[in-house]
Chain A
Amino acid sequence: MSTVPRTPPSQWPLRLRRALGGRAGWRGLAFQLAFVAVLLWLGYEIVANARANLQAQRIASGFGFLNNTAGFDVSQSLIAYSGNDTYFRVFLVGLVNTLVVSAIGIFFATVIGFVVALGRLSPNWLLSRIAGGYVELVRNLPLLFQMLFWYLAVLSALPNPRQSISVFGWLFLSNRGLVIPRPVALGGFVAVSCAFLIAILGSLALRIYARRRLFRTGQALTIWPSIVAMLVGLPAAAILVFGLPFTLEIPELRGFNFAGGARLIPEFVALTLALATYTGAFIAENVRAGIQSVHRGQMEAGTSLGLSRGQVLRLIVIPQAMRVILPPLTNQYLNLTKNSALAVAIGYPDLFSVFAGTTLSQTGQAIEIIAMTMGVYLLISLVTSALMSFYGWRLGRSLGA
């Protein structure tokens, strides 16, 4: 007589029940479904009721306005834009302007933050006091006030375009901004860009090779002379063969303003400056906290290995400090992006100014426009934190934590 091993009953319905309904089982699931249904119904009612009421009050509603002609101009647009374009185009122009000022602001804020933090921790008495003074001064003054300071104080110190400060007749600095020659592509442009790209890829490959070799054999290769040779030599050779990649369009004064050339408008400079210095002060404190959280023994161990202070910081302390720095750093990046909405005070055409400002008052569709604007800021913030989380995950993995 053979015994048949009893097969356990299938587990998956139980698991499903547990996952969906929790401890209460199927009844729990039913409650949850009912709750979601009520939420959806409430949401629908709110939207439908709002629509009906807006219609009853003869307030325009819906998103049809996005296809209407905007009819106003914008001082800075990185994508083609004229007054004949639609409100949706205005939305894109504002979005790009917000993204540009945020990205550049984040870059400089990070640089300022790290430099100031290292200065503050420096054994040099004067340097550390100056860095400390900077942090205390900048983070304790309102941001809007700093923006207006950079804008109005710096603007009024600059001359008008007719008396602009000129550098070799190429660069012109005036209260209309910084005008620089604009490169205009010529025949050799593609070839030279390719040569430059190849040089960059070659340098990266060389660096990876040198690192591998260092880890395998312990011998450090000096690679920078070959990298410089590649970055300069390859494009130079391409220019000799294919001709100049671009010519420069020199700006000249015509009427009230400069014609030709590219221009950095003062609103953009003032806004970036204010955002970067302000957020940089906060980042400096985050970085300082992070570095100080690394045990002193790490630094001493590095020094006893014969590494310089810079090497100890770069190779040992900062990688460990990053784990502490990263979460508040993300916060500061998000703050900077959101603070850029103050731009309207100094006339920079960001999303909040051209879309939630001008477009709103021209169309009067407050609910739709504010909802869209909030959605966009939310999206930018979520993407930023996702990127930072990804970086944190990689960092944690590489530290083996």
Chain B
Amino acid sequence: MTRISLVVALACAAALSAQTASAQTLKTVTDRGMLSCGVSQGLPGFSSPDDKGNWTGLDVDVCRALAAAIFNDPTKVKFVPLSAKDRFTALQSGEIDVLSRNTTWTLSRDTSLGANFTGVTYYDGQGFLVKKSLKVNSALELNSASVCVQTGTSNEQNLADYFKGNNMKYEVIAFGTADETIKAYESGRCDVFTSDVSQLYAMRLKLANPADHGVLPEVISKEPLGPMVRHGDDQWFDIVKWVLFAMVGAEEQGVTQRNVDDMAKSDKPELKRMFGSDGNLGEQLGLTKDWVIRIIKAVGNYGESFDRNVGPSSKLGIARGLNQLWNKGGIQYAPPIR
């Protein structure tokens, strides 16, 4: 009943406090000595705990980078696993400082939840996973199928739109968590499991015989996934936004975890600004001058994090695709650090 306690916390915070502390997140985090980061309940590649309880993944790296920038210690993060349904309430009630949980950026979420998206960590889209034995080659052949989906996601609405738009009938069965959903799919309750494509690849690994299942070619929606912070704290919003941009910018400049110390000695003006040997960009954010060095040492640049967690050198083996840098055929782009 985490949801009830979260709602009670939110109701109390809203009802009792004369003025909700809004512009204080950085101070709260520093005083606490720990960043509280909302993640998924276990989605390989994005946020999942290993057998020793260490969290890894692309979404996790954002929080580790934040902790590195603030404390110079990427381990000072408390990861709070949240279901799709509970995530926004946890952010609103102050339970977490940042939500980094494969969350799709939509207008209504940006406006009505009292929260802001800070950027896009992964450009995704919704797809379908089916058993290869069904011999289905296209999502348009799914008329009258039963579809398993996780409740509380943008996938539910996209699914309704897609089947209605193509004049197809379907039956939807919605489950509380991703694990329950994939279990029902595996037991044969559904013909199709739908989710963001990256998640389909990740969840496929949890099936008994991953090779028996295939992802259909159609991508039926745009799902830009990104971190979220509470509305009304511009400084914190800027920090979370620029930590991600720093990772992307570092990749653009060719700065990696391995060469960051050498690059820090470089005379190139962009690098000097980025690494704080020229100007005080980090301090303007409320961080230290060497914030980018701290981030890259802790988690590497965006490309390194991508490769390690979801890319070719990971179990998921997802191609960079749209998430390649803008000058290499993708759409990942960071505004200049200057």
Contacts and interface: CB of A to CB of B under 8 A. Distances in A.
B145 A364 contact: no
B114 interface: yes
B160 A71 contact: yes
A345 B152 CA distance: 13
B117 to A, nearest CB: 13
Contacts of B160: 71-73, 83
A367 B10 contact: yes
A396 B107 CA distance: 61
Nearest to A46: B15
Contact of B146 (A56, A254, A256): A256
A50 B151 CA distance: 28
Contacts of B108: 362
Contacts of B173: 75, 265, 267, 347
B207 interface: no
B180 A366 contact: no
Nearest to B134: A256
Interface residues of B, number: 60
Nearest to B168: A255
B11 A367 contact: yes
Interface string B101-127: 000000011011110000000000000
Given A57-B232, A364-B113, A370-B4, A73 B176 contact: no
A60 B175 CA distance: 26
B92 A53 contact: no
Interface stretch (A110-118, A152-160, A203-211, A326-334): A152-160
Contact of B184 (A59, A259, A347, A365): A347
B187 A156 contact: yes
A345 B15 contact: no
Interface in B127-158: 134, 142-146, 148, 151-153, 156-157
B14 interface: yes
Nearest to A341: B1
A154 B278 CA distance: 67
A340 interface: no
B84 interface: yes
Contacts of A257: 144-146, 171
Contacts, number: 171
Nearest to A60: B112
A346 B231 contact: no
Q: How large is the interface on A (under 10, 10 to 19, 20 to 34, 35 or more residues)?
A: 35 or more
B164 A83 contact: yes
Contacts of A266: 189
B189 A155 contact: yes
A155 B173 CA distance: 14
Contacts of B176: 344-345, 353, 357
A175 B231 contact: no
A58 B111 contact: yes
A308 interface: no
B187 A155 contact: yes
Given A57-B22, A58-B232, A366-B10, 18 more contacts: A50-B11, A53-B17, A54-B14, A56-B19, A57-B230, A59-B112, A59-B114, A71-B160, A72-B159, A75-B173, A83-B164, A155-B187, A156-B188, A160-B188, A255-B143, A344-B151, A361-B85, A370-B7
12 contacts: A56-B19, A58-B232, A59-B114, A60-B111, A60-B112, A71-B157, A175-B188, A345-B176, A349-B174, A358-B85, A361-B153, A364-B92
Q: Kindly list the 3 A-B residue pairs having the minimum CB-CB distance in the complex, ordered from nearest.
A: A59-B114, A361-B152, A255-B144
Interface of A: 46-47, 49-50, 53-54, 56-60, 71-75, 83, 151-152, 155-156, 158, 160, 175-176, 254-257, 259, 265-267, 344-347, 349, 353-354, 356-358, 360-367, 370
